[in-house]
Structure 1
Amino acid sequence: MKCFYHEAQGLHAPKHFFLRGQPAPSPEQPLRADLLKKAVEASGASLNLLPPLTSDPRLMDRLKRIHTARYLDFLERVVERWRALPAAAEVVAPNVHPCGHATFYPRHIIGQTGWHMHDMACPMDEGSHTGILASATTAQAAAQAVLDGEPVSYALCRPPGHHAGPERGGGFCFLNNSALAATVLREGYERVAIVDVDLHHGNGTQDIFWERADVWTGSVHVDPADFYPFYWGAAEEVGAGDGKGYNCNVPLPLGADGIGFLQALSRLLSAHAVFKPQATVIALGLDAHKDDPLAGMALETEDFFRIGQRLAQVKGPKVIVQEGGYPTDSLSDNLAAFLQGFRWG
């Protein structure tokens, strides 16, 4: 398995986000990557460090297939525009959001920030845009490796991406790395699937492919009736238009254990098999572990070994894209268990 990482991801390092109305230390820090790299190295896989970022027209073209041009422009310029405001905070944080049937796109940066960030869990500072692009570059490299003939690859991405939709970020996510990987694979395969095993529903991924029949999307996650992202992820959400029937959600009760998770994954993969994808992106979350700071499930480290085993049995080439999973004493062990299970699946 080829594994990819870009060290410039560490430039995205905002210290705080808002949790239950209070500023709180952000768990989405460069330490995550350090712990995940440790697991990759312990697994015996080689970690390919990507070269310094340069202008990449191919990346931007691919991103424009899943995100709007105005959103990409917003991400590039928002910190500079935000800090030009009188008495603005150092970190970009929206204080107003559109609701109802709002369709008017504002000119003012405060209004645009609320439009493009659907919550207060995606702070940005001066290094964020470079770090975000480095994360996307990592996903692109892993997907390109599979497109070029590798049977499987792993993208160590942070910040994560599956909450980022066509023109909105949230939940620590800005650019949708899993959707980007699928976009790369679509250049060589007619039918691509995304299987999301993060604790949270991949609402951004679902939104991007909602009306498309060429990319099947599926997710196992905590029921949004009780957990973030709250407004997306119900079992009844199956897509629309050409994409009707090409989205599958398997929500689980808050606090579900490994047995329940693996049963739900089997249901999801049964639907995945009906689509008969030629290649699959695995959106890998490790935050379903019982010790994760965003605790919503109660999986043990051994459960990630079994998840890896099961996903290794999916037919066709696969790109594994890192999504959630936050610093604990167990994080490295959880990724190591997944990779070992995948190897022996």
Structure 2
Amino acid sequence: MRRFWDPRQLDHAPVQELHNGGFIAYNENPGRARTIAAAIGATEPRADHGEAPLLRVHSPAYIAFLKSAYADWRAAGRPGDAAGYTWPVVGRRPLDLDRIDARLGQYSYDASTPIAEGTWSAAYWSAQTALSATAAVLGEGGAAFALCRPPGHHCGADYLGGYCYLNNAAIAAESAIAAGKSRVAILDIDYHHGNGTQDILYGRGDVLFVSIHADPRTDYPFYWGHADETGEGEGQGANLNLPLPRGTTRADYDGALGEALDRIAAFAPELLILSFGADTFSGDPISFFKLETEDYAPIARRIAGLGLPTAILMEGGYAVDALGRNVAAFLEGFSPRS
């Protein structure tokens, strides 16, 4: 299995985030990627596919905002990382607001996703890593892994959130469609629902989105990920959410995984994009499933059993001491001869 990574993804290093009413050290820190890279063996550099694939998913105004936000924040005399504190609850003003505080609220939905000096660089190369893994699979078949950091599945076409700035899975799917594929499936197995991916694709019938995640009645992102969200317009029926309760073990997880795989097989995609989060681990500090390290290989084998070309993109996972082992176990299960 080819593995892609770019060390510039370490450039994103916010100091803190707002969590449960107080400031804590930023969970999505560079140590996550370092421990994964150390555990999975040799990686290769990604290609640079440019901004065009990003602009198939994200609005030009949002991309421009990401590029300039940190500099604009500092130019306004602000210390530290750029973070919003005001959000439009009902509707949005026209997109012509000048003050950086207003634009931070306009292009985000939470206070846990600051923009640091290296955020744009890291997010850009994270997306290029996803595109490189996708291109490898489109050209060669089999499976490839993209060590994406920061992750991507929470951000939408014109908003950031949930530690995410560019939606790597949606960008990868759009690149496959642009390359001539007619049906692509995305399977999201992060602990948290991939609300941004769903949001971007909700009206699409050519990309199936299936997510197994914590019940949003109790867990972030709350406002997306419910079982009755099935798509709209041409995308009606192309969205499947499988929310599970806190405390879910492998025995309970397997049933949802079977339902997800059956739906993907029935859709008959030409490519599978797998948003893989290891925050389903029992020791994760911000998540509450009960999967163990030994569970990841058999889960991976079941997904690999679909027999589809698969681009595996890294999403969450915050138990840093165990994260490398968990990711390595998953990749070994997906490709036992790698």
The TM-score with structure 2 as length reference comes to 0.96
Instruction: State the match for 2:16 in structure 1.
Output: 16
Counterparts of 1:103-142 in structure 2, within 5 Å, are 103-105=93-95, 106-142=97-133
Instruction: State the match for 2:267 in structure 1.
Output: 275
Instruction: State the match for 1:287 in structure 2.
Output: 279
Instruction: State the match for 2:217 in structure 1.
Output: 225
3-state secondary structure, aligned to 2:156:
coil
Q: Which moved more, 1:261-270 or 1:194-203?
A: 261-270
The alpha-carbon deviation at position 27 of structure 1 amounts to 1.6
Q: Is the 8 A contact 1:291 1:328 kept in 2?
A: no
Instruction: Show CA shifts across 1:103-135 (max 9, x none).
Output: 533332211110111101211111111111111
The alpha-carbon deviation at position 273 of structure 1 amounts to 1.5
Q: Is the 8 A contact 1:35 1:327 kept in 2?
A: no
3-state secondary structure, aligned to 2:44:
strand
Residue 166 (structure 1) aligned with residue 157 (structure 2) = yes
Q: Is the 8 A contact 1:27 1:327 kept in 2?
A: no
Instruction: Find the partner of 1:332 among 301, 324, 328.
Output: 324
Residue 28 (structure 1) aligned with residue 11 (structure 2) = no
CA distance in 1, matches of 2:118, 2:154: 20
Instruction: Show CA shifts across 1:271-297 (max 9, x none).
Output: 111211111000000001011111221
Counterparts of 1:54-93 in structure 2, within 5 Å, are 58-86=49-77, 88-93=78-83
The alpha-carbon deviation at position 224 of structure 1 amounts to 0.3
CA distance in 1, matches of 2:180, 2:35: 33
CA distance in 2, matches of 1:28, 1:49: 22
Instruction: Find the partner of 2:229 among 207, 229, 237.
Output: 237
The alpha-carbon deviation at position 101 of structure 1 amounts to 2.7
Instruction: State the match for 1:49 in structure 2.
Output: 45
**What is the count of residue pairs matched by the alignment?**
335
Instruction: State the match for 1:156 in structure 2.
Output: 147
Amino acid at match of 2:73: W
3-state secondary structure, aligned to 1:173:
coil
The Cα RMSD (Å) is 1.5
Residue 176 (structure 1) aligned with residue 167 (structure 2) = yes
Q: Is the 8 A contact 2:176 2:184 kept in 1?
A: yes
CA distance in 1, matches of 2:46, 2:187: 25
The TM-score with structure 1 as length reference comes to 0.94
Q: Structure 1, unaligned stretches of length 5 or more?
A: none
Q: Is the 8 A contact 1:9 1:135 kept in 2?
A: yes
CA distance in 2, matches of 1:269, 1:108: 46
3-state secondary structure, aligned to 2:18:
strand
Instruction: Give percent identity, aligned residues only.
Output: 39
Instruction: Show CA shifts across 1:28-55 (max 9, x none).
Output: 11111111112211xxxx411347xxxx
Amino acid at match of 1:48: E
CA distance in 1, matches of 2:14, 2:112: 10
CA distance in 1, matches of 2:26, 2:254: 29
CA distance in 2, matches of 1:338, 1:109: 41
Amino acid at match of 1:24: I
The alpha-carbon deviation at position 341 of structure 1 amounts to 1.3
Instruction: Show CA shifts across 1:254-287 (max 9, x none).
Output: 1211111121111111111121111100000000
The alpha-carbon deviation at position 339 of structure 1 amounts to 1.3
CA distance in 2, matches of 1:202, 1:144: 22
Q: Which moved more, 1:133-142 or 1:58-67?
A: 58-67
Residue 146 (structure 1) aligned with residue 137 (structure 2) = yes
Q: Is the 8 A contact 2:32 2:320 kept in 1?
A: no
CA distance in 2, matches of 1:103, 1:146: 42
Instruction: Show CA shifts across 1:207-238 (max 9, x none).
Output: 11011111111100000000000100000001
Q: Which moved more, 1:12-21 or 1:227-236?
A: 12-21
Instruction: State the match for 1:99 in structure 2.
Output: 89
3-state secondary structure, aligned to 2:50:
helix
CA distance in 2, matches of 1:306, 1:123: 36
Q: Is the 8 A contact 1:147 1:184 kept in 2?
A: no
Instruction: Show CA shifts across 1:64-88 (max 9, x none).
Output: 11111111010000011111224x2
Instruction: State the match for 1:188 in structure 2.
Output: 180
